[in-house]
Amino acid sequence: MGRLSTHILDTELGRPADGVTIEAFRIEGDGAEKVAEAVTNADGRTDAPLLEGPSFGAGVYELRFHVGRYLGGSRRKTSSPAFLDVVVIRFGVAAAEQHYHVPLLLQAHGYSTYRGS
């Protein structure tokens, strides 16, 4: 059974990013349908996969990480407003029976991602 999961690691502070809202969208043509929403826990993860089983199919998806408030409230000096507010990662799912893990490695002025396991 395939599933979509994520987590956020604050690589600048060396800790998970908690309390961050994540929205998942399915992209079709010029439209985006919201299919899930979750908030990261103390481990920077969601308590359950964002999508799994029949609700997770092949296609194009987008994760929107609402990091602005987290970055502004963390133990670092940042501008107001924070440089990053919503980080958007758009990716394709070719094999929906597989596990797609799309983490966000976050810093105040940049980020990266990869397909994890």
Three-state DSSP at 73 gives helix
| pTM of the predicted protein model | 0.94
Residue spans of alpha helices (H) in 1-117: 68-73
Label residue 101 exposed, middle or buried (CB < 10 Å: 0-12, 13-18, 19+). Answer: middle
Domains of the chain: 3-113 (2.60.40.180)
Half-sphere exposure of 55 (CA within 13 A, CB side): 12
Label residue 47 exposed, middle or buried (CB < 10 Å: 0-12, 13-18, 19+). Answer: exposed
pLDDT digits 0-9 by tens, 75-110? 666 677 788 999 999 999 999 999 999 999 999 999
- With vertex at residue 10, the alpha carbon angle to CA 22 and CA 34, rounded to the nearest 5 degrees, is 10
pLDDT digits 0-9 by tens, 7-55? 999 999 999 999 999 999 999 999 999 999 999 999 999 999 999 999 9
